[in-house]
Amino acid sequence: MTAQETAPVSAGRGEPLVVLSGVQKHFGQLHALKDIELTVKRGEVVVVIGPSGSGKSTLCRTINRLETIDEGSITLDGQPLPQEGKALAALRAEVGMVFQSFNLFAHKTILENVTLGPIKVRGVGKAEAEKKARELLDRVGVGHQAEKYPAQLSGGQQQRVAIARALAMEPKVMLFDEPTSALDPEMIKEVLDVMVDLAEQGMTMVVVTHEMGFARTAAHRVVFMADGAIVEENTPEEFFTHPSSDRAKDFLGKIL
Ligand code: ADP
Ligand code: MG
């Protein structure tokens, strides 16, 4: 990937892009998100780590409104998240999401998987959408697989297609929820390499991952969650060498 192939992202760099303020979320009796304060700046890469069940996925899902919140506010580029209808569909296009399970449409080709959103949601013409999709598939290293179906690709290739599919919508921010957790070890690096490239090009990213190599290489900030709360946040260097909370020390002791 080269810098020229991406849209200019330098404009407004460093300004708040995603702002969560006083966010509370319950699932029945369970307090899943506790008074979350988090600002992600344009061009920033935030890695979210924490034990299973600490609310990392829920946090991601609130940002593209797959989950509603009970209290507080979330803004994207200064605008409150829309609640429904076309505005909500537009929001989902602006917030790209990549999950642990790749969620590609099994009965559509790789190319169709990537063009579907731009054509249906963005109203892009078929030829233009296909041109852009082929560029993106080349960028993530699966350009030669465009006519195949998802099941014919490896997990790592499918996950790279999922990234290309999200990028095709020209999102303002990309959310990654444990994107390599379901992959065989030899495929993890090929996905992380694509993510590091994206980060280097200035994409704003929120990444839930336990890949500490990625966090050290690409993250500007590590946010550590436990029991639905942000317990501490710091640069990767500081967080990994001098975690301040007992929860973080305990967690790092288990995974490092
Ligand atoms: P993480 O991604 O850090 O493992 P999650 O955000 O998935 O954590 O979950 C946080 C807590 O919320 C967990 O206790 C989980 O069981 C609960 N939870 C998540 N989604 C739902 C849901 N849709 N309904 C009920 N409980 C949920
Ligand atoms: Mg999760």
Tell me if 204 sits within 8 A of 41, measured CB to CB.
Answer: yes
Mean pLDDT, rounded, for 28-47:
97
Report the distance separating Cα 166 and Cα 147, nearest Å: 18
Lowest mean pLDDT among 81-95, 117-131, 157-171, 196-210: 81-95
Q: What is the pLDDT confidence band of residue 118, given thresholds at 50, 70 and 90?
A: very high
Is it the case that residue 16 has pLDDT exceeding 60? yes
**Which ipTM value was assigned to this complex?**
0.98
Tell me the percentage of the chain whose pLDDT exceeds 70: 95
Cα(213)–Cα(216) distance, integer angstroms = 5
Residue nearest to atom 7 of ligand 1 (CA): 57
Mean pLDDT over 19-31 rounds to: 97
Counting atoms of ligand 1 from 1, which one is nearest the CA of 28? 25
Q: What is the mean pLDDT of the chain?
A: 93
The pLDDT assigned to 11 comes to 58
Q: Look at the block and give the residue holding tokens 């507080």.
A: 72
DSSP for residue 81? P
Residues contacting residue 256 through CB under 8 Å, at least 6 positions apart: 212, 240
Q: What is the per-residue pLDDT for 82?
A: 87
Q: How far is the CA of 108 from the centre of ligand 2 (A)?
A: 27
How far apart are the CA of 6 and the centre of ligand 2, in A? 30
Tens of pLDDT, residues 73-103:
999 999 999 888 888 888 888 999 999 998 8
pLDDT range class, residue 10, cuts 50, 70, 90: low
Mean pLDDT, residues 43-48: 97
d(CA 195, CA 141): 12
Provide the CB-side half-sphere exposure for 120 (13 A, CA). Answer: 10
* Ligand 1 atom closest to 178 (CA): 2
Instruction: Give the mean model confidence (pLDDT) for residues 226-251.
Output: 96
Is the shortest distance between the CB of 56 and ligand 1 below 6 Å? yes
For the residues 127-144, what does the mean pLDDT come to?
97
User: What is the reported pLDDT for 13?
Assistant: 78
Predicted confidence band of residue 3 (pLDDT cuts 50, 70, 90): very low
Q: Whose CA is nearest to atom 27 of ligand 1?
A: 27
Least confident of 80-84, 149-153, 195-199: 80-84
Residue nearest (by alpha carbon) to ligand 1 atom 22: 27
Using the predicted structure, report yes or no on whether residue 240 has a pLDDT greater than 90.
yes
